[in-house]
């Protein structure tokens, strides 16, 4: 089973209006950083709206892995497995 990435409405302009992206993990270890690098290939512009230049989620963006804030895990180096759910949230309101 793939990893599911849930996209908030405010960022869907980058994902062709998709609310969810499914990503099949390649062989070997996969972490959040690598996941977003891979997803960026098909959806250019997603990483810059989620992460700041410092590599951390912007202050208006939350990233959760299986409902746990990624900062309380291993940050961008949080390991991902099949069936994991990565949820992106945003405090930015789309008008």
Tens-place pLDDT, residues 24-64: 877 678 899 899 988 999 999 998 888 877 777 777 889 99
* CB environment 77-92: b (16+ within 10 A), e (fewer): ebebeeebebbbbbee
CA nearest to 43, candidates 52, 35, 55: 35
The pLDDT score that the predictor gives to residue 55 is 75
Domains of the chain listed by start with CATH number = 3-90 (3.10.20.30)
Looking only at the bridges linking them, the beta strands covering 61-65 and 68-69 are antiparallel
Q: Model-level pTM?
A: 0.87
Tens-place pLDDT, residues 63-87: 999 999 998 999 889 999 889 999 9
Q: Kindly tell me if the per-residue pLDDT of 1 is higher than 70.
A: no
Q: How many other C-beta atoms are found inside a 10 Å radius of the C-beta of residue 31? A: 18
The pLDDT score that the predictor gives to residue 85 is 96
Q: Kindly tell me if the per-residue pLDDT of 94 is higher than 70.
A: no
């Amino acid at each position: 089973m793939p990893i599911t990435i849930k996209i908030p409405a405010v960022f869907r302009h980058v994902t062709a209006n998709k609310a969810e992206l499914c990503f099949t993990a390649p062989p070997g270890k996969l972490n959040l950083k690598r996941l977003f690098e891979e997803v960026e290939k098909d959806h250019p512009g997603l990483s810059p709206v989620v992460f700041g230049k410092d590599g951390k989620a912007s202050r208006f963006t939350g990233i959760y892995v299986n409902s746990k804030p990624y900062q309380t895990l291993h940050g961008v180096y949080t390991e991902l497995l099949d069936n994991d759910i990565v949820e992106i949230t945003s405090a930015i309101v789309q008008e």
